[in-house]
Structure 1
Amino acid sequence: MPVTAEPSPAVQGEGALVLFSGGQDSATCLAWALDRFPQVETLGFDYGQRHRVELDRREGLRQGLAGLDPAWGRRLGPDHTLSLAALGDISDTALTRDSEIALARDGLPNTFVPGRNLVFLTFAAALAYRRGLRHIVGGMCETDYSGYPDCRDDTIKAMQVALNLGMERRFVLHTPLMWIDKAQTWALAQSLGGQALVDLIVEESHTCYLGERGQRHDWGYGCGTCPACDLRAKGFSRYLAARAG
């Protein structure tokens, strides 16, 4: 598999913290980080999300990734989970309530949890500060996404400035998926860990907003109709077509 045996000189000795939900994007980001940094820790958030089953997938993904390559296994450090129940309490959204997924009056999908990524990055930076980690990796993307404003590149850049000023550190926020679509995200996984990583993400990760794990599709488990399943399924189809072509 095309994995660098040792991290590049640019990141030698610098650790990373990956925002790791248990979904396709964060699993790909974790592989990306393991391929680059000598020490990688993971962080998940429990905010009362409707698809909380994603948190249950995290350990299987971590162990699977560690087993794909000895170097990845050596680099993978501790996992952390933080409870952010207050975020769920103040969020009246389809991700935190049993309600139908639809567009809100402002044009945003009602799966948008206001402030979620801003809160996530703030807590991640606080943990990275304590753990002595400089790099923070997240799966935010504004190419194939639901229109969430806190996934935009400008938002992440602004957060990096604010966190560095507010904590007197030089954190680097990495978003390796920012400018690629879901088909390219599958292709990135393939380039990082071969078919074994693609298969691991299909089988172990979770994307469905409804938390559905009953039905197995060629791209993984999910209801097959929610926006998250739709993006993942269409991306997987385009990825397979590109490989076949």
Structure 2
Amino acid sequence: MHTTALVLFSGGQDSTTCLAHALARYDRVETIAFDYRQRHSVELEARLQVLQEIRKQFPLWAPKLGEDHILDLAVLGAVSETSLTRDTAFKMEASGLPNTFVPGRNLLFLTLSAAVAYRRDLQVIVTGVCEADYSGYPDCRDDTMKAMQLALSLGMDKRYLIETPLMWIDKADTWRLAHQLGAASGVPDGGQKLVDLIVEHTHTCYLGDREHRHAWGYGCGTCPACELRARGYERFSTN
């Protein structure tokens, strides 16, 4: 039986929902993030505020929330000529993938997360990758996650579970899942409180915009991440 988890926690909508998922299931939950010189590095600040608000607003989850880890991955930014690590316009490449794809990012994230999980004796690695509502990133696919779970378990001689709560749901359902998790947290009106927390404190915008406030949160409103989050919130709020 699994009792401990490490959540890949960027401070965005998806990873915050995954964190709530883990806190609802496991006795001890730690978090990890990566500084790869992303243009939207404001997410590294936003995530600390999210952690603080979860501890404050969800008292039954707070004792489960353990150590937070941030790893410096400047090398990933150095080898990545993408619109997430360079000041270039968002566009589709000849490969059919958007230039927001950072090659090897999730593979590296999971490998380093497994190393931290090994040292911290954490059994489950939780990540917010999704195949139902995404940009076609090959390192977000279910097959990739299964292959990584096998490789990491064999390579470290420790049976890991890579959990992907969002794999088969779209952004509207991700908002609904957050509401459901909050509602089951034991906090009065917890569903709406978690949704409001995500709106106000998480960060998704690829351009790092924290000036423009929308119904779904802060962001430029035009980058691919903002558009996806906005469409999901509209479907969630009107149904």
TM value normalised by structure 2 = 0.95
Counterpart pick for 1:94 among 60, 63, 83: 83
Deviations 1:56-101 (A, max 9, x none): 0111111111223322001000100000000000000000000000
Counterpart pick for 1:204 among 201, 204, 207: 201
Percent identical among aligned pairs is: 64
Partner of 1:20: 9
Counterpart pick for 1:122 among 111, 119, 138: 111
Counterpart pick for 1:77 among 66, 78, 83: 66
Partner of 1:162: 151
Partner of 2:217: 220
Code of the residue aligned with 1:215 in structure 2: it is: H
Q: Distance in 2 between matches of 1:208 and 1:146?
A: 15
Q: Distance in 1 between matches of 2:222 and 2:118?
A: 40
Q: Distance in 2 between matches of 1:221 and 1:92?
A: 26
Partner of 1:195: 192
Partner of 2:56: 67
- 5 Å-filtered alignment, 1:32-47, equals 32-47=21-36
Q: How many residues get paired?
A: 231
Partner of 2:188: none
Deviations 1:124-170 (A, max 9, x none): 00000000001000000011111111000000000000000100000
Secondary structure, counterpart of 2:133 in structure 1:
coil
Q: Distance in 2 between matches of 1:76 and 1:63?
A: 10
Code of the residue aligned with 1:94 in structure 2: it is: S
Code of the residue aligned with 2:139 in structure 1: it is: D
Q: Distance in 2 between matches of 1:49 and 1:238?
A: 29
Structure 2 portions without partners, runs of 5+: 183-190
Secondary structure, counterpart of 1:57 in structure 2:
helix
Partner of 2:172: 183
Structure 1 portions without partners, runs of 5+: 1-9
Code of the residue aligned with 2:202 in structure 1: it is: S
Secondary structure, counterpart of 2:232 in structure 1:
helix
Q: Distance in 2 between matches of 1:165 and 1:33?
A: 24
CA RMSD of aligned residues (A): 0.7
Partner of 1:105: 94
